[in-house]
Amino acid sequence: MLEAFAAETLKFRRHRATWFLVWIYPIGFLLLSVLLICVGLIQARPETAAPAASKWIESTAAIWYVPPHMFGRYLIAAFAAFVFAGEYGWNTWKLVVPHRSRSALIAAKFAMTFLFLYGAFLLTGLLTLLMGWIGDVVLGSPIPEGITAAALAKAQYLGAVAALAPVLVTIAYTSLAAVLTRSTIAALVIGLVAVTAEQAFLGLAPILSIYAPRLVWGLYQLLPGYHFDNLSSWLGQGSASQTRLPELEPIAWSWPASLALVGAWVVGVAGLTFVSFKRQDIN
């Protein structure tokens, strides 16, 4: 397993897909921050009061809003498609499979994909904090009082935990599509469609429930989309995300129940990826 993980890391560390879909987060943010500081130095800026400490701290964890967002999940699906389907296009599975456990190979891909993405998000979060401080110092903007290391760490932690479920489910969707289709493009398309359909259903559920109320009510709770929002609500507000469909009982799950259902989706879909790959004829 460790050898397989090391091989995956070496393979994708400098791959073009990694540069454009993973390292783009810290690099892009760093360039944007420098640009904004330069613009601020050129333009005349009126004196402003220091923002509230809570707002300043929240801004340092802004990167964690990207992974749960639909566009962010598209980028995650694209990277997962390259990782899991790339071997088929490069025709390298037949060279690797005879020498390593198939389960270890797939597990290494899951681990590498997740760690690369979360490493990039965390690095971007740290750069956000650093560049925010540098920007305020260079531009002479007041830094609010009451900012502590514990509060900054908590903001990063809550953001990372809230993003965990949609990231894992998106990787699971795309990994299964990659193994079943053996195509990077097909895996990407299926991953994008799955994410889009999942999010579209949440928005259309109130309308669809008029025509098939019980079916929509059941699917709303079975599919993972609501549970992403619910877990995020429990983390941020300490209460459930309540949804009311026309003429039906309100939906409001406890966080352990939502966590269990999302876990079932991740384990179930990822498990199908393992089983499908183990039974696949590689030639």
Reply yes or no on whether the pLDDT at 245 is more than 90: no
| CA proximity to 72, closest of 132, 25, 114, 31 | 25
User: In whole angstroms, what is the distance from residue 66 CA to residue 270 CA?
Assistant: 23
Q: Over pLDDT 90: what percentage of the chain?
A: 58
Which burial class, exposed, middle or buried, applies to 185 when counting CB atoms under 10 A from its CB (0-12, 13-18, 19+)?
A: exposed
Decide if 140 contacts 46 (C-beta within 8 A). no
- Residue 45: the pLDDT is 61
Beta bridge partner(s), residue 251: 243
User: In whole angstroms, what is the distance from residue 187 CA to residue 189 CA?
Assistant: 6
- Residue 106: the pLDDT is 93
Reply yes or no on whether the pLDDT at 46 is more than 70: no
User: In whole angstroms, what is the distance from residue 277 CA to residue 85 CA?
Assistant: 11
Contacts of residue 136, defined as CB under 8 A and 6 or more positions apart, other chains included, come to: 142, 143
- Residue 44: the pLDDT is 59
More confident residue, 4 or 221: 221
Reply yes or no on whether the pLDDT at 225 is more than 80: yes
188-206: pLDDT as tens digits: 999 999 999 999 999 899 8
53-66: pLDDT as tens digits: 788 888 888 899 99
Alpha-carbon 39 to chain mean position: 31
More confident residue, 224 or 7: 224
Which burial class, exposed, middle or buried, applies to 122 when counting CB atoms under 10 A from its CB (0-12, 13-18, 19+)?
A: middle
Reply yes or no on whether the pLDDT at 83 is more than 90: yes
90-146: pLDDT as tens digits: 888 877 777 788 899 999 999 999 999 999 999 999 999 898 888 878 877 777 777
